[in-house]
Amino acid sequence: MSANVYTVAILKAKPGKTDALISVLEGLAAATRKEPGAEEYGFIRDRKTPEVILSYEKWTDASAEYAHWKTPHLAAAIAQFKDLLEGDPVVHQGAKII
């Protein structure tokens, strides 16, 4: 039996780039949700710091999550991040414990 894999990433938009970042993330989410093994894939905007966006991903297993990193739509989004983000995304991956 395979265990689900969860990924959470923290992205912070450069000043004035939040709307452009959201636009990129909308396209990324639409394509990612069609991938085999993608059970949940979404983004949450922080209420107190609206330029901070959290990704939330649930994958059927590690191989599905790994395959996501090889997709053209993720590569295209990452290429755009350099102009939109303050620093690199902070990515956390793991298994649900509670």
Read off the pTM.
0.92
pLDDT at 37: 98
pLDDT at 2: 60
Taking the C-alpha atoms of residue 33 and residue 42, their distance in angstroms, rounded to an integer, is 9
Output the CATH code of domain 5-87: 3.30.70.100
Q: Is residue 94 packed enough to be buried (19+ CB in 10 Å), middle (13-18) or exposed (0-12)?
A: exposed
Q: What is the radius of gyration, based on Cα positions, of the chain? A: 13
Does residue 85 contact residue 21 with C-beta atoms inside 8 Å? yes
Per residue in 26-85, pLDDT (tens digit) is 999 999 999 999 999 999 999 999 999 999 999 999 999 999 999 999 999 999 999 999
In the chain, what are the domain boundaries? 5-87
Does residue 65 contact residue 5 with C-beta atoms inside 8 Å? yes
- Quick one: DSSP state of residue 13? B
